[in-house]
Structure 1
């Protein structure tokens, strides 16, 4: 869809300060929703200054279009992450599913899908409920919701999926923090820390693969190392990169949706009271939390051809960045988009991606973890309250919270 571009609009854009990637702003207040709302209304595909300049895509319809057309907007040419990388790093990173286009992505994903079917994930529900209750049992009356509840839950589940000892969760937690928080001084001394953490995950995955090949178990690692019906399997590098992706995506999305959702419920006490009165709303609450928080703020694509998007002429090899946090508050799709409503239905949010090849592989698992967590919280602690300020992650990629003090009553 093309949108008209008038002289008055151009003039107004020039007078409005737009900066969607200032990480200090994210640390202070989270995604810049006022700027994003203005862009959706006035300049939905915005030429944003940077090194290089990029197109900021903010409307739901356009984000979905970019997401569903890998042949036009590539994840492989310059990768899916925002920051630029030297060519030798790009070549290595292209081996990860996140940074691939069909048909290579399709082949890899078909192998990995075996461990993430709805039936396989559904079988984990009681185990996730037990983990959640155990975490809540261990909390004192005063707790940090992030480090004592939101972060350990997906880490325990990842250990379960990998068949790894639960004692490894602290290592996985530290690796994930160093990779995602490479721009946050609380988590890493320098951006190079992220690369170092990734190498440690590779080594860990390698050791895990050796163990499972020698002694297969009934876990996802053993499944992925075995050949499928067509005789195909992940090679060593592909497996290591998958574990790296699982450590980050399987941890960060759920962790930050949970902590961001808890903060949203504190900021909307009527919705917390509603959930406490009816914990069965936890299923729709999980989807509304993902829409509202949008734990992954953005992804990058690269245009593969000259084309028009949102009324703008995009050139081949232009950097195109989709903002899920903006699309998820598009009033053309979500009535009362600025209202946090745990009963919202339908709720076609794109917090797990806009569809297409890269729709989140673990979306069923993430929604299950969130549903169980908030159902148990509502049942056990209807008077749960916030006791201190939330501290946010310094990142324009992950909409994260580092600390959220609570009182469990």
Structure 2
């Protein structure tokens, strides 16, 4: 493999999916150097870090323009070939990777187009807007419980609760079952972190069994919820999700709707602690630009991958057919050519063309509007009800290769 020119400030063996590296923080300094000297950089991986994939590494794409271009290019890049996830557990097999092709994020047209059209029924602006008042009430209830505690862990007691309750409302899942979704998704996503116990495969199987039970119940007793919309035929001829497709959709929603929004809210609160002037500005003026700056700053998913299905130029580098590329949203969101003072947390930033929702191609996050609504409601509620919230200890980061996660943030609520 012929790599792009060496970047002098990049250490030998640099792999931005290394969970030990990511546990210390997103490597923004290294990404800045890559954008400057080698925006398409070959990452050579050890056998355990490329488990389940063909080839010996991948191209790290760090510039905003290149990440956006590849995101939109379904003609030359595939999500199905190797899936969208760039790093798995060391014991992941090729067969297991291929089995995940049924999940929406791992599909290409026409399958992706068909499934996305069906799933979109549950994420229309009308469906999302209908949740506003309920989510406001839920956010107030969450804060009530936090106030009663006095102090605690912001992640589990505040940040995780609104996304989980929103998912439960959206799908018609009993609220008492939201804890199961939280535990299962944590187990699935935290295989690299020694603080979490459990078997990711078993957790995925639990969600699948649970989803099948939900589907069977809705077939017998249809309701006005997303489950019924997804599993029943529609007069417009778009069809319905099969049993496996629905099960993997529930897995995707439990992970994407829980992990990502939870981490956006947590990173946002942590950023406000680190930038108290911005917290004062938010409390007094409530700029509408806050939400996208929190999401840019957090970039909960640092990267997804694509696989070249043709020889194609990315920047000045030819990516060969069959080679993987890592789309580094975290780097793109700090590109100096796009963002003024990108390392500054500025809730008045405008414009803010961040790529935290996966660029603007076929795989743009289907739940983006719901995520924005949850972030806005949660920080409005916190500013109204907990204006003097204080940090009691350092944020404890998740050990993970592509999730920018915080697993603990000690705070004083009152």
1:316-353 CA distance string (max 9 Å, x none): 10111111100001011111211111111111111111
Shift of 1:18: 3.0
SS in 1 for 2:304: strand
What are the equivalent positions in structure 2 for 1:1-400 lying under 5 Å apart? 10=6, 12=8, 18-27=14-23, 29-50=24-45, 51=50, 52-83=56-87, 85-139=92-146, 140-189=149-198, 193-228=199-234, 229-230=236-237, 232-278=239-285, 280-281=286-287, 283-400=288-405
Q: Deviation string for 1:97-134 (max 9, x for gaps)? A: 11001111001100110100112101101111111100
- Stretches of structure 1 that go unaligned for 5 or more consecutive residues are none
Deviation at 1:398, TM superposition (A): 0.8
Q: Is the 8 A contact 2:7 2:34 kept in 1?
A: no
Equivalence for 2:53? none
Tell me, in whole angstroms, the C-alpha distance in 1 between the residues paired with 2:375 and 2:18: 29
1:235 Cα deviation from its structure 2 partner = 1.0
Calculate the aligned-residue CA RMSD, in Å.
1.5
- Provide the rounded CA distance (Å) in 2 between the counterparts of 1:114 and 1:69: 25
- State the TM-score, normalized to the length of structure 1: 0.94
The CA deviation at 1:202 is 0.4
TM-score between both structures, scaled by the size of structure 2: 0.93
Secondary structure (helix, strand or coil) at the match of 1:115 reads: helix
Contact kept, 8 Å, 2:230 with 2:240, in 1: the verdict is yes
C-alpha distance in structure 2 between counterparts of 1:399 and 1:381, whole Å: 25
Q: Is the 8 A contact 1:188 1:194 kept in 2?
A: no
1:14–1:178 Cα change, 3 Å: closer
Gaps of 5+ in 2: 51-55
The superposition leaves residues 157-210 of structure 1 with CA deviations (integer Å, 9 ceiling, x where unpaired) of 111112111110111110010111111112235xxx111111110000000000
Change (3 A) 1:213 1:266: same
8 A contact 1:297–1:399 mirrored in 2: yes
SS of residue matched to 1:94: helix
Q: How many residues align?
A: 396
- 1:355 deviates by 1.0
CA 1:17/1:225 → structure 2, altered by over 3 Å: closer, same or farther?
A: closer
1:392 and 1:195 map into 2 onto residues whose CA distance is 23
Contact conserved, 1:135 with 1:149, CA < 8 A, in 2?
A: yes
SS, match of residue 305 in structure 2: strand
1:194-251, Cα deviation, whole Å (9 max, x unpaired):
1111111000000000000000111110111121211511111111111111111011
TM-fit CA distance, 1:407? 1.1
CA distance in 1, matches of 2:22, 2:9: 22
